[in-house]
Chains A and B, each alone.
Chain A
Amino acid sequence: MAYSAEISRANPGCFLFLIDQSGSMSDPFGSGGTRRKADGLADATNKLLQTLVLKCAKEEGIRDYFQVGVLGYGNSVGSAFGGALAGRDLVMVSEIGNNPARVEDRTREREDGVGGILREQIKLPVWVDPVASGGTPMCAAFSRAKDILTSWVQQNSASYPPVVINITDGEATDGDPVAGAETLRGLYTNDGQVLLLNAHLSSNPSTPTIFPNSDATLPDQFARTLFKMSSELTPAMRTAAQSEGLPASEGAKGFVFNGDLVSIIKFLDIGTRPSNLR
């Protein structure tokens, strides 16, 4: 059965993030907002990396269940890591956890459950900084991803197939990305084809959408193209999504519109995950 390989240190999985660093990412989210999409994307990417690290963290350190890469595309296509990992493509998740470019102290507010607000000091690791410059060479990014993952699937043929997460404001400037996405999804291990998931950060103020099974409610052509390029969620991912109260019906795709994909990381099985862990 596809997508059932055990993710372990002997057979690690692979996450490759593709992040849009084009000039249009300096535009704000939605209508009338002031927060730049580039800032939101950097936060989202750092949150995804943090979630991956925490998924693999144990008392003795970080278990290398995954190899992870972050490719930025804007003025050029290349590793988006800052700090000690700068310039590197795929690295072990333990290297991610042990080498953030910096760890920021932030204050988080949350409800205390009795009508008040609690302010907590939290540490926020940063690997990727906001960049907004140049065009949107998404086709070149898919091509670079294909090069990286072609050798990965050859070297890890028994592993769970790579998961590629593309976060963008939607419009490629170097051609039609659909064919490149198809080529990327055509790579496979013995356990299944590469999964390509897309997150659309849009200035369009339409309602956020997560894991749709049709493009009927998507607001523009860019969103519909990204939906078309996205892999269907695996049955295990759909089951996990549904158990978290997310809509993921038959045919649901790994696409979100102005939403986040952190939940996807939770859905990959590396062992017992308590249902009451929130």
Chain B
Amino acid sequence: MELDVEIFALPKLGADAEEYEDAASPSGRCHCSGSHFTFAVADGATEASFSGLWARLLVEGYTSECANASLMDVVTRAAESWTASVGARVLPWYAEQKAASGAFAAFLGVKVDAFVQDEHELVSYSADAVGDCCLIHMRGGTLIAAFPLTRSEEFNSTPSLLATRVEPNCDVEIHRTSGFCNEDDMLLLMSDAIARWFLAELESGGQPWEQIRDLETSDGVLFQDLVCELRSSNVLKNDDTTLMRITIC
């Protein structure tokens, strides 16, 4: 199995690059060859502190753990790292109190496996999600799956998210899905703003997959240009925006 993986990311307008609170793993473009891969995107919550750190620890933990580690095992280990990192800092009263509430992030992790059945190579995927980072599975112009949210109106600014503290995670529901891919299928891992736009475009009869497929190719535009245009048209929320485009080769 071979995969083309590209990551596109742009901070919220008006925010500095170091304030970016989304995270993706892998963090850069790659062409992969093998039988098992993991990918993850996370979106740290604005109304918590050290959320970017939490998002990074989650995606890095998920993609570096062994294949059969559960998501909550990943969360537990990432939370220990977060607590050790934040606890080592001397903070003013407000940062200390804010950090005591913990950090929160939406999370999407996808495992892609290739296996042989009846002399044919099949590609399957399974995904875990908490919150509003989304997986979109496109086959040409056909939407095969949208997960965990399936409609643009399902997005809001108060999703249930993965926390560094144990207590809030008791309220969290981990959504799971799985499916099979064909050659040339696209798996799109998205943070909420661009996922919401993508689904809204589909609902209104648009063809957003074409813009995503052609991004930063000779037929397409730069990700930054697309996002800026959509933001200025008020069809994309001004938010940190992350897209991972995986093409099955």
Inter-chain CA distance A9–B19, complex, in Å, is 13
- Contact status of A277 and B93, CB under 8 A, knowing A60-B19, A269-B157, A272-B157: no
Do A59 and B50 touch (CB < 8 A)?
Answer: yes
Tell me how far the C-beta of A102 lies from the nearest C-beta in chain B, rounded to whole angstroms.
11
Do B160 and A274 touch (CB < 8 A)?
Answer: yes
**Quick one: closest B residue to A58, CB to CB?**
B49
Inter-chain CA distance A62–B98, complex, in Å, is 11
Residues from chain B with a CB closer than 8 A to the CB of A103 are 93
Judged by a CB distance under 8 angstroms, whether A273 is at the interface is yes
Residues from chain B with a CB closer than 8 A to the CB of A273 are 45-47, 157-158
Judged by a CB distance under 8 angstroms, whether B112 is at the interface is no
Do B96 and A123 touch (CB < 8 A)?
Answer: yes
Number of residue pairs spanning A and B whose beta carbons lie under 8 angstroms apart: 101
Residues from chain A with a CB closer than 8 A to the CB of B60 are none
Interface residues of B (CB under 8 A from A): 14, 18-19, 43, 45-50, 53, 92-99, 101-102, 104, 106, 157-161, 163, 168-169, 171-172, 192, 238-239
Tell me how far the C-beta of B169 lies from the nearest C-beta in chain A, rounded to whole angstroms.
8
Do B93 and A125 touch (CB < 8 A)?
Answer: yes
Stretch of A14-22, A49-57, A74-82, A227-235 contacting B (4+ beta carbons < 8 Å):
A49-57
Do A276 and B94 touch (CB < 8 A)?
Answer: no
**Which of A9, A60, A103, A240 has the most C-beta atoms of chain B within 10 angstroms of its own C-beta?**
A60
Inter-chain CA distance A59–B53, complex, in Å, is 10
CB within 8 A of B95: which of A57, A269, A270, A276?
A: A57
Tell me how far the C-beta of A70 lies from the nearest C-beta in chain B, rounded to whole angstroms.
17
- Contact status of A272 and B43, CB under 8 A, knowing A58-B49, A277-B48: yes
Do B168 and A278 touch (CB < 8 A)?
Answer: yes
The 8 A-B residue pairs whose C-beta atoms are closest, nearest first, are A271-B46, A276-B168, A274-B104, A274-B161, A273-B47, A57-B98, A276-B171, A57-B94
Residues from chain B with a CB closer than 8 A to the CB of A206 are none
Residues from chain B with a CB closer than 8 A to the CB of A271 are 45-47, 157, 239
Residues from chain A with a CB closer than 8 A to the CB of B163 are 274, 276-277
CB within 8 A of B47: which of A98, A123, A274?
A: A274
Judged by a CB distance under 8 angstroms, whether A23 is at the interface is no
CB within 8 A of A97: which of B48, B94, B104?
A: B94
**Quick one: closest A residue to B101, CB to CB?**
A277
Do B47 and A55 touch (CB < 8 A)?
Answer: yes
Judged by a CB distance under 8 angstroms, whether A183 is at the interface is no
Residues from chain A with a CB closer than 8 A to the CB of B99 are 59
Inter-chain CA distance A278–B106, complex, in Å, is 17
